[in-house]
Structure 1
């Protein structure tokens, strides 16, 4: 089932679909605006042994988010992070900047315990080329759907495994609709361009991520004709 990118209620954690990679690695898919819980599969009973480390994409820069069960309050997104009772890392209202590699490591008496569990968080985000006031009947709009992956090229996936595609409110694939021009810019980006009509107001367009015929997540865009209609 596709996961819509409606903002969740505070405190509700959305568990996104998982795709297991190689041993010790897990892939988690979310859309921007969702809450996500990253499970620490090697957690000990006492979360004071737990440290969560974030590795920024395409770099070797690492950042300790949680140390010994205590949140690092000196980072920009500290208010959106929390540690669950099961030692999971909870991220509130994910953004595209949250994508990357997360490692849950256990320390006992100051020594590493076991192998750190790695989680790759992929975030789907939809943006518009037009502001709300610029959107009106007769104007052109381009929506960009991008899956932010640990590597820009999405090289963690086989080409035949990963698909991004646009659908309307009735879940009809828009690739075959002549009203919409859909282009690919690399494996992880799909743009949709169309001329807006009066009846498009409040219409929902969704971009979905499908891997091996399984929908992992989706991101929605609601058309709002805020400008003067022709």
Structure 2
């Protein structure tokens, strides 16, 4: 009986370690597209820049971004990457294509041979991205657009799609969803827009976007300066958000600019 209890306690310790991010679990970083992000290398050595390698993995394809302090110029985003003195990896102007698993390794020379020092430091980068798809209620509507500044006008229907791009080597349900990640569309006072009948809120997911939440509504004249915000919480803590504000010009029939503002906590 005592042996069984010991096994139960051991099982609880292992489970607790996995849930709290110990025992080599990934460090999760949440960021909005368009922002800059810094990924830490937790096992950094002193004077580590010449000893650091950063690898990137997504969908079982591994790309070497930095090899012992030297950037790989064959990658499309090498100009947006930089290595800090503490060996953290900086990524400028993050896009939804940057999501994935990043691994930091430290290498030292021992008797003429390179040898890895310590274990891999893994960081899972999750990117929050919002696209806008305006459409007219008439048959002469313009084509949809996902640009950051979109021309729309009162009377048209607009859809804001808030998407979280995630990859950890496991399914979304196995890792990200189980860790308490939530997306919400709220108004400027923080009230969940699901409570307002004029907004249609739909949630879904696919293979690479663990969370997709869309907001659809028909713009009214009084929507001038109206603010909607997609916010991401992780374990009940606000991590990042994207705010959209509708601004009408003086003429009622003129176009409307919808501009995103990214807020990372």
TM-score by length of 2: 0.73
2:37 matches 1:36: yes
2:201 matches 1:176: no
Cα distance change on mapping 1:211 and 1:202 into 2, 3 Å: same
Greater percentage in helix: 2
Q: Which is higher, the Rg of structure 1 or of structure 2? A: 2
What RMSD, in angstroms, separates the aligned Cα atoms of the two structures? 2.3
Where do residues 95-110 of structure 1 align in structure 2 (5 Å cutoff)? 95-109=95-109, 110=114
Counterpart residue number, 1:27: 28
Work out which structure has the larger RCO, using CA pairs closer than 8 Å and 6 or more positions apart in sequence: 1
Counterpart residue number, 2:122: 118
| Unmatched runs of 5 consecutive residues or more in structure 2 | 1-18, 135-144, 256-265
Q: Does the CA-based 8 Å contact 1:20-1:26 persist in structure 2? A: no
- Matched residues in 1 for 2:238 and 2:21: separation? 17
Counterpart residue number, 2:139: none
Where do residues 39-54 of structure 1 align in structure 2 (5 Å cutoff)? 39-46=40-47, 47-54=49-56
Count of matched residue pairs: 209
Counterpart residue number, 1:167: 186
Higher mean alpha-carbon deviation, 34-43 vs 180-189, is at 180-189
Deviation track 1:25-80 (CA, whole Å, cap 9, x = no partner) reads 20000001111100000111122110000002xx2111111111111222111111
Q: Shift of the alpha carbon at 1:116?
A: 0.6
- Matched residues in 1 for 2:102 and 2:28: separation? 10
Q: Shift of the alpha carbon at 1:139?
A: 0.7
| Unmatched runs of 5 consecutive residues or more in structure 1 | 1-18
Deviation track 1:97-121 (CA, whole Å, cap 9, x = no partner) reads 0000000001112221111111000
Counterpart residue number, 2:84: 84
Counterpart residue number, 1:69: 69
